[in-house]
């Protein structure tokens, strides 16, 4: 439902105050602090605001003009978590043809101002939000949330070119590339691209996602109270690890994604599956890649997607996710899927 001018004015009286992340135009050089590149989509910019109206949990889609002023508002039926209505504000782009919201930034989360968080810390918050609130109802359709395509910046000089292996993975029109520091509070550097890069027409997916059969988790089962061993595989995306249990005849059955809740846990998992030198020695951050590594442009050159590691995990009751703890002892049994779900039939 689109808000009238009067309704929008009244609504915005409670809209939280914050400053947008500072953005600047390109420079000739980017210092080593800018570790991340992000493909910013073309399209209108919006806020998604989870809040309340009287006794109802609501979500507003607030359209911005070029001066980043709110000019229009739409009330979205909120099917998300009630705690979001304490005040959660996202910033990003709407892909109208697919009812998709690309999250570029987050300013409030469950009533907490995130002004002083680094971009790395914000990534963990956004990841948690996506896990808890994968979609809300929007005009009787599923309004889905995604993050922009991102990749590691390994160049000293900025460029307006995007490698082919990266652009082929982007399934929306790119407006510009944005350089970010993930550890320090620095301005975002925007780099316009000379040639418009269009969405990949081969597929209508936003990202390369493997589809797995979903089962109904039964959190009342006793197994959720004990350390549990899963067979774990890495994903091409950082901090995404897939948990497998055993099924019929010792087959691997997909369970869910592991919960990587802090930087220390991220480093631990990277050490098992990814070839990231910075995890082992911070001095490597200052070193350039060797010639062989630089010439290898494969999108999975830093991760072993075929490696499977049995890992003992503990269950986080608040977020209902399993946290990797340690590599399991030799001979430890992988958990059977029936101990975790209610609708797997071992026939």
User: Where in 133-291 does DSSP place strands (E)?
Assistant: 135-138, 141-146, 150-152, 174-180, 188-197, 228-234, 241-246, 252-257
Check residue 291 and give its pLDDT. Answer: 44
* pLDDT band at residue 198 under the 50/70/90 scheme: very low
Q: Which of helix, strand or coil describes residue 247? A: coil
Average pLDDT (233-261) is 86
Contact 227, 329 (CB under 8 A): no
Over residues 223-236, mean pLDDT: 92
Mean pLDDT lowest for which of 13-22, 281-290, 307-316?
281-290
User: How does DSSP assign 288-337, residue by residue?
Assistant: PPPHHHHH---TTTTB-SS--EEEEEEEETTTTEEEEEEEPPTTPPPPBG
In this prediction, residues 115-127 reach a mean pLDDT of 89
Q: What is the pLDDT of residue 187?
A: 87
pLDDT score for 133: 67
Lowest mean pLDDT segment, chosen from 79-88, 198-207, 300-309: 198-207
Give the per-residue pLDDT at 194.
59
Domains and CATH numbers, the chain: 5-194 (3.30.470.30), 222-339 (2.40.50)
Per-residue pLDDT band for 224 (boundaries 50, 70, 90) equals: very high
Q: Quick check: 117 and 176 in contact, CB under 8 A? A: no
Q: What is the mean pLDDT of residues 284-288?
A: 40
Mean of the per-residue pLDDT values of the chain: 79
Task: Name the strands in the sheet holding 23-25, side by side, starting at the edge strand that comes first in the sequence.
Answer: 23-25, 188-197, 174-180, 36-41, 150-152
Burial class (CB in 10 A: 0-12, 13-18, 19+), 262: exposed
Q: Which residues contact 201 (CB under 8 A, 6 or more apart)?
A: none
pLDDT at 202 over 60: no
Quote the pLDDT of residue 56: 79
pLDDT of residue 232: 94
- Mean pLDDT within 187-213: 52
pLDDT at position 237: 72
Q: In sequence order, which residues have a C-beta less than 8 Å from that of residue 270 and are 6 or more positions away? A: 238, 276, 279
Predicted pLDDT at 23: 77
Model pLDDT for residues 13-33, shown as the tens digit of each residue: 889 888 888 777 665 555 678
Q: Which is more confidently placed, 343 or 201?
A: 343
Q: How far apart are CA 275 and CA 304, in angstroms?
A: 8
Do 141 and 99 form a contact (C-beta atoms < 8 A)? Answer: yes
DSSP symbol at 163 = -
Residue with tokens 């995306």: 237
Q: What is the pLDDT of residues 151-189, one digit of tens each?
A: 888 776 777 677 777 877 888 888 888 999 888 888 888
Helices (H), the chain: 5-12, 119-132, 164-167, 263-273, 291-295
Q: Is the CA virtual torsion 203, 207, 43, 200 positive or negative?
A: negative
Burial class for 180, CB neighbours closer than 10 Å (0-12, 13-18, 19+): buried
Distances, alpha carbon 252 to alpha carbons 143, 224, 231, 238, 327, in Å? 32, 19, 8, 23, 18
Q: Which conformational region is residue 53 in: left (phi greater than 0), alpha (psi within -120 to 50 degrees), or beta?
A: beta
* Residue 46: how many other CB atoms lie within 10 Å: 22
Q: Are 120 and 182 in contact (CB under 8 A)?
A: yes
Q: What tokens does 227 get?
A: 């350390």
Who has greater pLDDT, 152 or 324? 324
Q: What is the mean pLDDT of the segment spanning 136-151?
A: 70
Q: Is the pLDDT of residue 278 over 50?
A: no
Q: Which of 149-158, 226-235, 245-254 has the highest mean pLDDT?
A: 226-235
pLDDT at residue 26, as a whole number: 60
Token pair, residue 177, equals 């590339």
The pLDDT, as a whole number, for residue 303 is 80
pLDDT of residue 339: 95
């Amino acid at each position: 439902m689109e808000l009238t001018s009067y309704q929008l004015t009244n609504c915005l009286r409670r809209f939280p105050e914050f400053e947008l992340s500072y953005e600047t135009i390109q420079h000739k050089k980017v210092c080593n602090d800018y570790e991340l590149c992000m493909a910013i989509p073309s399209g209108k910019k919006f806020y998604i605001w989870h809040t309340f109206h009287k006794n109802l949990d609501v979500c507003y889609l607030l359209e911005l003009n070029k001066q980043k002023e709110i000019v229009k508002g739409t009330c979205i039926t909120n099917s998300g978590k009630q705690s979001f209505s304490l005040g959660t504000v996202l910033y990003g782009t709407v892909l109208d043809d697919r009812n998709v919201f690309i999250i570029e930034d987050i300013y409030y989360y469950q009533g907490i101002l995130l002004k002083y968080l680094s971009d790395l810390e914000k990534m963990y918050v956004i990841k948690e939000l996506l896990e808890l609130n994968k979609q809300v109802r929007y005009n009787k359709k599923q309004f889905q949330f995604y993050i922009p395509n991102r990749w590691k910046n390994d160049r000293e000089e900025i460029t307006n070119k995007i490698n082919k292996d990266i652009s082929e993975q982007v399934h929306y029109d790119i407006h510009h590339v944005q350089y970010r520091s993930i550890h320090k509070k620095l301005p975002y550097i925007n780099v316009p691209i000379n040639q418009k890069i269009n969405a990949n027409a081969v597929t209508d997916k936003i990202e390369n996602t493997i589809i797995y059969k979903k089962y109904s988790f039964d959190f009342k089962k006793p197994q959720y109270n004990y350390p549990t061993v899963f067979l774990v595989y890495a994903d091409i995306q950082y901090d995404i690890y897939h948990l497998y249990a055993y099924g019929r005849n010792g087959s691997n059955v997909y369970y869910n994604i592991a919960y990587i809740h802090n930087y220390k846990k991220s480093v631990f998992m990277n050490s098992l599956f990814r070839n990231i030198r910075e995890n082992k020695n911070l001095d490597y951050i200052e070193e350039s890649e060797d010639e062989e590594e630089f010439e290898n442009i494969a999108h999975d050159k830093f991760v072993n997607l075929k490696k499977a590691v049995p890992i003992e995990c503990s269950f986080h009751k608040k977020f209902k996710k399993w946290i990797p703890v340690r590599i399991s002892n030799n001979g430890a049994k992988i958990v059977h899927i029936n101990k975790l779900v209610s609708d797997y039939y071992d026939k």
